[in-house]
Amino acid sequence: MIRSLAVLLGSLLWPFLGSILLLLPATVFAQNTVSASDPAPLELGHSAAAVDAIPKLIPTEHFAGRSAYREFQVSPDGTQLAITMSVEGKVRIVILDTATLELSQSLRLPDKTRLDWIRWAGRDRLLLSLSWLGRAYGWPVRFNRLYVRDLTTDNFFELKVNKKIIWGGDLVHLAEDGSYALISVQSSLRNSPSVYRYELEPDGDVERVVKSKRGVWDWYTDNSGVVRLGMGWQNKRLRVYYRESAAAKFELIGKLKENDDRSRYWNVVQIVSGSSQGYVLEESDDGRVGVRLFDYSTGEVVDTFYENPDWDVDGLWLKDDGTPLAALYTDDRVQMEWFDEETAKLYARLKRAIKLEDIRIISRSRDDHTMIIWGRSEADPGAFYVFSRDRNELKVLANYRPELEFTSLAKPKPVRYRSRDGLEITAYLTLPPGREPKELPLIVLPHGGPYGVRDMLEYNDEVQLLANRGYAVLQPNFRGSGGYGDEFYEAGTGQIGRRMQDDLDDAMDWAVAQGVADAGRVCVVGSSYGGYAALWAVLRDPERYRCAASWAGVTDFNRILRYDRRYLSRKASRRWRARVEGEEDFDLDSVSPAFFAPNLNRPVLLAHGTRDSVVPFSQFERFKEASETAPVQPVTLVVEGEGHGFSRKETGQKWYDALDRFLAEHNPADQVDENGNFTPPVNPATGPAFDDIELPPGATE
């Protein structure tokens, strides 16, 4: 295959990879876009990754893997590339020549530090943000400082701040020539940060350019480097301060209450030098987030620059002069509405050459002649490329996840179905490669959150693991999910365990009606809220589901809401409870799995990390204890020291291994003999027959 990379991690040797000459036509290509309308009817042919034969089983450790690559930064002149990567558990910075891809330097970090980010400061210097664990007032905290590494002299020095300060500086602005940086730093732990100008030389001059304002923690410059805006929360209001120029005083231009919807979306994008106007992302009166031209001197929207008729704008890319380059929104995947014809043409050419659905320029030289490109798709974790516009040449730099055989992966497709109350719901269906898409074992895989979160067409390790094992996988964006407008979002209020759960049942019914899924071989698998939905599925509707698997699932809603109060203000806590409960008199115990655990009669995999601060481990213990008298005992997995997600490859693999074994026993996919023929699935021995199930009292509305 062309896409390959050889890296000797022990010695950090980086051999030349060869290059691919792009015969990019001089003619203009139309930009490829994905329509927001319904997709074409589902083609139920052999699925996905153009694999005719059933692919070999990919080891779970490959799906649990982590990319070695963290960050790519091209130097301003385009001659050097800094790559942050993890080598045997330690972070390194390697410097390559962009023309030859030969290694020129390898930089080690001080022991017990974490690299947060790097930036080029001119041609031969790097600005680094490092942090480490320490203690303040008896509490464990993470300290942060900024450092400079001169690549020509090997000089490495810290930008000095008060030793007692925990967070040693946020980068506000970096001079184009790398000579100085504007950095937001506290003078003491009691004060909000001021902005200082640091000369990026050993013992360079330090000058305060903006004095702190009470409650202001975020400072913004215009595109010429003048600090023009400050924001921060004080007395439960978002306060916004603005000034016209470096010589003017900051004036308070706005105070947004914490329950004001504007504070949920209002986001500074850019202030244009020499002007009082810039761009913000803000919700309109009809609930649609768009790009607004904003007058900072009056605190008012001047005009709508761009609003998508169907989707909220997620982000905005700007040119160096502060004018809009592209707006980002998500239909089934992240899309870009271009405002610059030349860049639109470039992206179309790169997309055509790399042949992957999602293309991003993640770093570029100042003259745009050298770029780092990341290409990926929902069936491919992707690769990085070096693109030279002068030579019209694209070089493969690295596979993002080189251990994964990307040609054996499955390609999800968007589908739409109607809920029982008529709501249109989008889901993503992934069919196992090489298998006839008829009466397959099905995994319903609800996302976490649940509110404001969604699945989309993007690479997902868990989806690919399950498809590789022979399962069809269905990911419903049930009501309350984000990205489909306020009406769809609000339709989820008070519907946890009720209509939100109906949406999952209706997704299963759709898959069965399509002939894709075997109604007798359906399991629900999920994490966080998805873990809750999995447990609730087999307790509320055991006649439907053969089994369930939950990682870090909520099991008792009243307890989790009490737990959440310690992290929320009183008003925020009340709003969160109101969204979950809906009606004030609704009893959350009636949709909490822990109260129905004694009736459990389907196989369940119950897994949790002991240091989960989002859904505490006590939720696992609550369900496990309540299920001790159940007809079927859950299979349990406790991962010591792990949090809400998987911080290490080893812990992710424990979950995947346990899930793999659990599903093979309780909902096995079609077995394949040595000649490639299917054999009937083996019925699980655990749990009663489907026609013998009785619903737990109170488990349905």
Q: Give the chain's domains with CATH numbers.
A: 413-555+588-687 (3.40.50.1820)
pLDDT score, position 156? 94
Helix residue ranges per DSSP H, 1-115: 60-63
pLDDT score, position 264? 52
pTM to 2 decimal places: 0.83
How many CB atoms neighbour CB 246 within 10 A?
Answer: 13
Environment class of residue 99 by beta-carbon count within 10 Å: exposed (0-12), middle (13-18) or buried (19+)? middle
Tell me the C-alpha distance between 397 and 15, whole Å.
10
Strand 194-199 vs strand 206-210: parallel, antiparallel, or unpaired?
Answer: antiparallel
Task: Strand 517-527: give its sheet, edge to edge.
Answer: 413-418, 424-430, 472-476, 440-444, 517-527, 547-551, 604-609, 635-639
Give the three-state DSSP class for 83.
Answer: strand
Model confidence pLDDT, tens digit, residues 246-287: 999 998 887 665 555 555 555 666 676 777 888 888 888 777
Return the ∠ at Cα 605 (arms to 603 and 606), rounded to 5°: 125
- Candidates 601, 593, 597; CA nearest to 689 is 601
CA distances from 518 to 435, 437, 509, 668 (A): 14, 10, 10, 12
How far is CA 73 from its chain centroid? 21
Tell me the C-alpha distance between 315 and 240, whole Å.
21
How many CB atoms neighbour CB 199 within 10 A?
Answer: 15
Tell me the C-alpha distance between 305 and 35, whole Å.
22
Return the ∠ at Cα 306 (arms to 302 and 308), rounded to 5°: 135
- Candidates 366, 312, 319; CA nearest to 340 is 319
Residues of the chain with pLDDT under 50: 1-51, 676, 678-701
The Cβ-side half-sphere exposure at 557, using a 13 Å CA radius, reads 24
Give the three-state DSSP class for 271.
Answer: strand
Instruction: Give Cβ neighbours of residue 505 (< 8 Å, ≥ 6 apart).
Output: 537, 541, 544
Give the three-state DSSP class for 332.
Answer: coil
